[in-house]
Amino acid sequence: MQVEILKAIQSIHNPFFDMLFISITYLGSEFFYFVFIPYFYWNVDKRFGLKLSIMFLISVYLNTAIKELTSINRPIGYPGIRSLALSTAGGYSFPSGHAQHSTVVWGIVASRFRSVKWYVIAGIFIVSVSFSRLYLGVHWPLDVIGGIVVGFALVYLSSKTKWLSALRLSHEWLLWLGSVAVSLLLLLIFPQHDIWRVSGMMSGLLLGYFIESKHVKYEVGVSKGHKKIALHLIGISGLLIIYIGLGYVLPAELAFTWIKHFAMGVYITLIVPYFYKVVV
């Protein structure tokens, strides 16, 4: 049944659709979220931006764990199935990370603004990114369905959990050490490459958030219009320099992967807000 569904979807293939769905699938990539999620922390609401970041990281961890536990192979190489954009298809197949993460991120964003416009935008991104994984032949239909289901479960959990309001700055170091301990414990359970990135990023995000909230106290929304866009582009440029630059400078060992993503987390929640406050 799943093979027939994939073949039916791929029966419409042509060079234009190939390019279109390769482009769409990158809207569910790590690079896209690096550009997209920090915007909310820097320009909309710091607590919401932190919540969105951490829920995305939780989604990455959970997706990696489920893939390792189920160990279902992708349709890549299956007779009659053409697979494109193979660089976006690492690891096992179930559930689809692209479908799951797009559901988590866009679902939480739509829940934040609660308007028809944002629900439509979220739906378009979730459906298009998910469909692209089938058209490109890198996931089975059940992978995509499973990813969306897990994603919506995390969106629901996010809407019902008030964990961020419990982050009292008087106990920031204890909270940070606790978060690092939890992330390292999760790393011991599933020591895959993606989990090293999740652990480092989460530790850096929370440390930067606690320090910035107590000592920098950047106020979101001070900059307007073109200045806001310019500052965001500067912030993203610095983030990409860290991401690419440290990738070249640091050895490929997993411990240095943790350090690189820790630095990125601190940059997002501390360095850029400090820069914004000084400039604005």
Could you read off the pLDDT of 18-50 as tens digits, one per residue?
999 999 999 999 889 988 999 999 988 888 999
Residue 134 has what pLDDT?
97
**Per the structure block, which two tokens stand in for 86?**
């193979």
Q: What pLDDT shows up at residue 3?
A: 92
- Helix pair angle (30-43, 272-279), 10° resolution: 40
| 3-class secondary-structure state, position 168 | coil
Q: How far is CA 233 from CA 39, 42, 240, 272, in A?
A: 10, 11, 10, 11
How far apart CA 18 and CA 25 sit, in angstroms, is 11
pLDDT of residue 224: 66
Angle between helix axes 116-135 and 2-10 (nearest 10 degrees) is: 100
In this structure, are residues 93 and 139 in contact, taking their beta carbons and an 8 Å threshold? yes
In the structure encoding, which two tokens stand for residue 16, read together? 């234009």
Contact 276, 231 (CB under 8 A): yes
Beta-carbon count within 10 A of 269 CB: 28
Mean of the per-residue pLDDT values for the chain? 88
How confident is the model over 106-116, as a mean pLDDT?
94
Give the whole-angstrom CA distance, residue 75 versus residue 81. Answer: 7
Helix axes 254-266, 193-211, angle to 10 degrees: 30
Burial of residue 26 (CB within 10 Å: 0-12, 13-18, 19+) is: middle
Q: Annotate 176-199 with b (16+ C-beta within 10 A) or e (fewer).
A: beebbeebeebbeebebebbbbbb
Token readout for 159 is 């809407």
How many other C-beta atoms lie within 10 A of the C-beta of residue 40?
22
Is 80 exceeded by the pLDDT of residue 172?
no
Residue for token digits 């073949």?
7
pLDDT of residue 139: 97
Question: Is residue 69's pLDDT more than 80?
Answer: yes
Asked whether the beta carbons of 67 and 140 are under 8 A apart, the reply is no
Could you tell me the CA-to-CA distances from 170 to 180, 217, 274 in Å, in that order? 18, 15, 20
pLDDT tens per residue across span 115-169: 999 999 999 999 999 999 999 999 999 999 999 999 999 999 998 876 555 555 5
Residues contacting 247, CB < 8 A, separation 6+: 260
pLDDT tens digits along 225-267: 677 788 888 899 999 899 888 878 888 788 888 999 999 999 9
Peptide bond into 95 cis (omega under 30): yes
